């Protein structure tokens, strides 16, 4: 489990055929860490290692959280 800008983030790799992996990440509510607020999955980009897929999932989650902050600022 990682934390990014106070959000708990869980990133993992999902196995594909031929020892390949794709990325999946789950972002949780900062106030209620058991409440899932977003699930991200990228099946378009296939990685050759589990670690690479997990790192890419973390990148996806960080980008979504950064975009969430931008959207909140636009509303205010």
Residue range 1-26, pLDDT digits in tens: 899 999 999 999 999 999 999 999 99
Q: Containing domain of residue 8, as a range?
A: 2-75
Q: How many helices (H) and strands (E) does the chain have?
A: 1, 4
List pLDDT tens digits, range 30-40: 999 899 999 99
CA distance 46 to 70: 29
For residue 45, how many C-alpha atoms fall within 13 Å in the half-sphere facing its CB? 16
User: pTM score, two decimals?
Assistant: 0.84
| Number of domains making up the chain | 1
Residue 13 confidence (pLDDT): 96
Measured at the alpha carbon of residue 74, what is the angle toward residues 72 and 67, in degrees to the nearest 5? 55
Residue 6 confidence (pLDDT): 93
């Amino acid at each position: 489990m990682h934390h990014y800008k106070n959000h708990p983030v869980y990133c993992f790799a999902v196995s594909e055929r031929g020892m390949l992996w794709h990325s999946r990440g789950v972002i949780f509510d900062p106030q209620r860490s058991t409440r899932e607020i977003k699930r991200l999955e990228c099946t378009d980009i296939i990685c050759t290692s589990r670690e690479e897929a997990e790192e890419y999932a973390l990148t996806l989650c960080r980008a979504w959280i950064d975009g969430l902050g931008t959207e909140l600022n636009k509303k205010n």
